[in-house]
Chains A and B, each alone.
Chain A
Amino acid sequence: MRLAGGGPVIPNFGQGSSCVTGDHVFCWGWVKAHWGDTLGPALVQHIELTLIAVAIGFAIAFPLALLAHRYHRLEQPFGTVAALLYTIPSLALFQLLVPFTGITRTTIEVALVSYTLVILFPNIMAGLRSVPADVIEAAQGMGLTRRQVLWRIELPLAVPSIIAGLRIAVVSTVAIATIAATLLRDGLGSPILDALQDPIPFKTEIYSAGLLAVALALAADTVLVALRHVLVRWPRNAE
């Protein structure tokens, strides 16, 4: 059935080895053949989508958290808005944004950024709040200004919690970004979607793109763990 027309039924059909034509579980040859035109670019796009989303998300969440830390009344509204954004299903959110930003990468990024906010904002807040009251009081009593208390004491002590937030944000963004392909062929979601649209979904393409997404998430997580080891040198058990 697959070869009925003699031509490639599967997009990215390639050389048409027996592995591919028979749709075996995993065709390494296909992956090698299409790294350059399909998987590689999709991976690069995916990294871009994730990095931009987390970077912008952090750039928004960080000052908002500092504001809410300074003016406690703001914390509740900020937190609620972020949580509400998260309740919107990502498929729906992409479509909701189309009238405003069109079928563009901007639409995808707006959605991804709003998901990172709900993870990053509370984590930065929790980190700032985890600093023991006696530590703050000692700092004030010694004559540190409010700004010095923030930058020299509170933020360094919040780093473990901030990095924990970044880890969750990165991993979940890598996952959610695959759904972005429903809107625009961008990232590792697009080879998966292409393969799903075949009459018989092409397993190798789904698995290889999926595995790349998993590997990307793990690699990003490893980088963040290493970053924490560099930044957090003090023992955190007692106290």
Chain B
Amino acid sequence: MNAESRAAEIVFDRVTKRYAGRDTAAVTDLSLEIPAGTFCVLVGPSGGGKTTALKMVNRLIPFESGEIRIDGRSILELPLTELRRGIGYVIQQAGLFPHLTVTENIATVPRLLGWPKQRIAERCEELLALVGLEPDDGRRYPAELSGGQRQRVGLARALAADPPVLLMDEPFGALDPITRFRLQTELRRLHHDVAKTIVFVTHDIDEAIRMGDRIAILREGGHLVQYDTPDAILAHPADDFVAQFIGEDRALRRLALRTLDSVPLRPGVAALRVAPTTTVRNAISLMIEARTESVLVADGDRALGVFSLDDAGKLLE
């Protein structure tokens, strides 16, 4: 987006959180290293402590033992408000301020930081475009927006002061599937452009696989079960819990992560033509539907090669 964009490393170092009056801890001895610029998804069943873990980063929830560091500094070192103004925060209901316009909502943190008016106005305009809103939307109030638009504003507001870290707590959980898919795609693109460290909480494993560079799977009691790339988790689930959580169709899920332009093709011909941007999973689906065992990958008129069901199986090895 611009030169000032930056990311920060986040480290959980043996962090434990207990709520008063509960037998089990909400987060147990959590250690997690999130490299700068990583899109990290915390996923797990409810009671897995993923939201608790997220809210510990901006100190909305205090923890008893262990340490959380951002770029090597303990989050306890900074004054609370300063820490939070440096961390973008997006929540499920968006939490927009109903009495402020979209632009005023987005301008919240820059105003707290005392930016000059002109710079705030320019930044708001830039952010509206970045999250796919019209310039005119800036004058509207949250009650006049759809759920998807509110989430876009929530994202723009979190990005306003260009924080190196973005925390997102089930941001798309309340959206319809079509809007959710669109926003997921745009957030991936946006992450590619702005290169922030994003910590994203969801209970939806599909969303985790689609969004994450890395996925941390948490079990009841806030135990970290597995922390790896989506492909590695699908290929080698750490235990039965993970295997069950990611589902029995994990081979297909893995193949959904790859598109035909990233797999080896063989020379030849086939009757069924597909675009190189097709995922392997969708190619398999098309082959089954057409009762054929291979497809011709073609970019317009240019044939790139042939891909077969057998090749798909080999990709999993």
A: residues with CB less than 8 A from B are 132, 134-135, 137-145, 148, 153, 156-157, 232-239
Contact = CB atoms under 8 A, between A and B. Distances in A.
B112 A239 contact: no
B143 interface: yes
Contact of B83 (A139, A143, A144): A143
A139 B91 contact: no
B210 to A, nearest CB: 25
B112 A236 contact: no
B91 A138 contact: yes
A239 B147 CA distance: 10
B135 interface: no
A132 B99 CA distance: 12
A143 B85 contact: yes
A143 B82 contact: yes
A142 B105 CA distance: 11
Interface of B: 58, 60, 80-87, 89, 91-100, 108-109, 112, 141-144, 154, 157-158, 167
A233 B112 CA distance: 23
Given A236-B143, A239-B143, A143 B112 contact: yes
Given A134-B95, A143-B112, A238 B81 contact: no
Contacts of B85: 142-143
A237 B92 contact: no
Contacts of A132: 93, 95
A239 B98 contact: yes
A137 B54 CA distance: 13
Given A142-B109, A143-B81, A234-B143, A135 B98 contact: yes
Contacts of B89: 138, 141-142
A136 to B, nearest CB: 8
A236 B81 contact: no
Contacts of B94: 134, 138
Contact of A141 (B60, B96, B99, B142): B60
- Nearest 7 A/B pairs, CB to CB: A138-B95, A143-B84, A141-B89, A143-B85, A134-B93, A134-B95, A238-B143
B82 A137 contact: no
16 contacts: A134-B95, A135-B98, A137-B95, A138-B95, A138-B97, A139-B95, A141-B58, A141-B84, A142-B85, A142-B112, A142-B157, A143-B85, A143-B112, A144-B81, A237-B143, A238-B143
Contacts of B142: 239
Nearest to A237: B143
Contacts of A157: 97-99
B95 A234 contact: no
A137 B143 contact: no
B98 A144 contact: no
Contacts of B92: 134
B108 A142 contact: yes
A238 B84 CA distance: 29
B95 A235 contact: no
Nearest to B81: A143
A140 B98 CA distance: 16
B84 A140 contact: yes
A234 B99 contact: yes
B96 A135 contact: yes
Contacts of A237: 143
A227 B95 CA distance: 27
A238 B143 CA distance: 5
B109 A134 contact: no
A238 B144 CA distance: 8
Nearest to B141: A234
A2 B81 CA distance: 79
B98 A134 contact: no
A148 B141 contact: no
A141 B97 CA distance: 13
A237 B142 CA distance: 11
Contacts of A239: 98, 142-143
Nearest to A160: B99
Given A143-B109, A145-B81, A234 B91 contact: no
